[in-house]
Structure 1
Amino acid sequence: MLDTISDLVGKVEKIARKPWVTQEMMSKMEERRKWKNVNNEEGRRKYRRLRNELKRATDRAKKEYLEKICNEIMEFQRTGRYDLMYMKTKELGWKENHGIQNVGIEDSQGNRIVDQRQVLKIWENYISELYDRPNRPETLEVEPEEEVDTDEKGPYILQSEVEKAIKEMRKGKATGDDDVPGDVLKLLGEGGLKTLTKLMNIIYESGEWLKDFTE
């Protein structure tokens, strides 16, 4: 029956629920779903590969989308176009009952704020929350290196990259699952940075996480 309908009206493409999801991603999702039901080694390998390809692609696309929207919001803020700023922020999930209605804006306690400086502060706090909001990715099952296409492999992690990432961490940032405060990492000397970089490359190259990282 479905084949007959497809012949008569053509194949209807699914509509992505998220604005950063492309039709190519949707096709891979469908292919991944098919391989998920194949209960053999080849099926598990292809499912794992598609799953990880999709994870990488959607992470990149979502990051680019959010950066684009937030840059537009900041520009509207800079030029005082709060109406357009509000409309653009709604694209990021701002709820109607927390936004501008007729005049001003409601704060988190539901109080109407009309002073433009306070309104601006509320927007700034909200945008900051968008960046700081915890966003735990779904578990990524690491593929063996031989199963990954050469084009999908990234370069080895450089010590300068590790050092830069640590320097850019905010002071007093909440700890992650490892309970290691970011401020402690900032105290690492040359030897500590070399050891940490070596450890990260071992994990990257082998595809195996240390036991302490997974408990």
Structure 2
Amino acid sequence: MSKENWINEKCKEIEQQRKHAPQTMYRNIEEITGKRTFLSTGCIKAMNGYIIIDKEKILERWAEYIRELFKDDRKDHNIMKNNFAGLPIMKEEVETAIKKMKHGKATGPDNISVELIEALEDFGIGKVTDLLNEIYDTGQIPTDLSKSIFIALPKKPGATDVNYTEQSVS
């Protein structure tokens, strides 16, 4: 089989895998393009410039960096005003918002994906609507909804400085 035929076959496979097997699709794309993923070096620099190789210390450094990056000096920033005058959130609005969300994304701390809410159909949309209206009416945001997960993605292979990475938020 010629290289051109092989590439054409791989492209057809990729098109079929787009919706049903995205991880396999990305592997096939990397195989065709020759791009390889690079692993981290397993070390980063401390604020003083010294290299850290201990996993616990690395995690502490990342936590320190994220806290500084997203420092919030506002007072009472977790408290919303009560909604005494506004209209309640309608089920149709929630359904429209859920339909616009991207599929295949990582879940948050609650492990609830968009696909799960969609699979629950009317029941799931009703529960989400009830939760949003409760938040809207009381001004109290559940702790789980105020948590974020950060994944550091090096911009270049072997990056050791936390300032030279992108943060992906889920």
Q: TM-score range by the shorter chain?
A: 0.3 to 0.5
- TM-score by length of structure 1 reads 0.29
Q: Which structure carries more relative contact order (alpha carbon 8 Å, separation 6+)?
A: 2
Going by fraction, where is helix more abundant, 1 or 2? 1
> As a proportion of its length, which structure holds more strand?
2
